Chain A
Amino acid sequence: MWVWVQILISSLSLGSFYALVALGFSLILGITQAFNLAHGDLIILSGYLAFALWKFYQVPFFWTLPVCLLAMPLVLLPLQMLLRQVKEPYGLNTLVVTFGIALLLQNAMLVVFSADYRLIRPELPHYTFPELPLTFTLNQATLLVLSLAATGLVHLVLRRTFLGKALRATIEDREAAQLAGINVKQMGLVAFGLGGLLIGLAGPLYGQNMYLYPAAGTEATLIAIVITIFAGLGRSRGILLGGWLLGLAESVAALTLGIRWRELVSAAVLLILLYFKPEGISSAREG
């Protein structure tokens, strides 16, 4: 019985993190209609940046966060300018271009950081409840709180501000938004900026909870795609729900089938979703 409570706790924190991973992807896709297959690799890049700061310059873990938050938008903005040059069919071409960028990043990280598995291991205590057979690490707590805070902030921006209204209008209907006087190009910049912030936050958290290795990004990208197709574009609450469900599915699979089948869950869920929703995300322009 307690094992299920434990699973619920860990999938809640992991699932919130997955939502954070998917949110940036979904915003970028919704607003600029660019399929960013390098999304996961950029998260890994941010994770490596935090790892390098923590390991080689003895920067405390929490201070790596602002550095990554600043650095990743600076990486994402050139990417946005590059993707603007891509011609029709836009969706498919951005898919291929970002696939190339993912290859480039994976190999660059292989050169710089080698293929070893890395983990950011700050000295954080474990909490065990003496009367309950549960463990809750401070790592998990950080993951949960920061992911939820970021998702909540994006939700507030999208729902409560004028900028958010313009962003949602661009997702809903690009042409109509333009007719209403929204600068769609500027919204693209905002999307990549926000996406960069979210990637910047996700990287150190990834490095703290999962192993960093150069090819790890593909799985993170798959997770982002799965949740985005499940939830739709720019729907922060749906994305959070999708993240929790995926986290739960992964934990249950790891418990019942064995830890090594966990990798299959996101791929299998994606295939099942696509089988029943072949048009994918309805409001995105078909490539």
Chain B
Amino acid sequence: MSKFRIAVHITPRKGLLDPQGNAVKGALQTLGFKAVKDVHVGRYIIVEADAHDALAAEDAVSDMCNKLLANPVTEDFEIESAVPA
């Protein structure tokens, strides 16, 4: 077993109203960033865990996302490649 560091991006499901993202978008546009078309605000979670290899570490985090870290009804998640911690 070795220790891995796995990062996950959790974002509001596409198509669902994202009031937080809209508020930030509005603020950016007010600031003069007229090119901004869309903003989404999510969470970034870093998990450190023991696993046999990187793939097993990523699979474990995927399981964690399905069971707790992300809400299957309202959120999508994307797991970054596991790196040795």
Are A and B interaction partners?
no
Question: A-side interface residues toward B, CB under 8 Å?
Answer: none
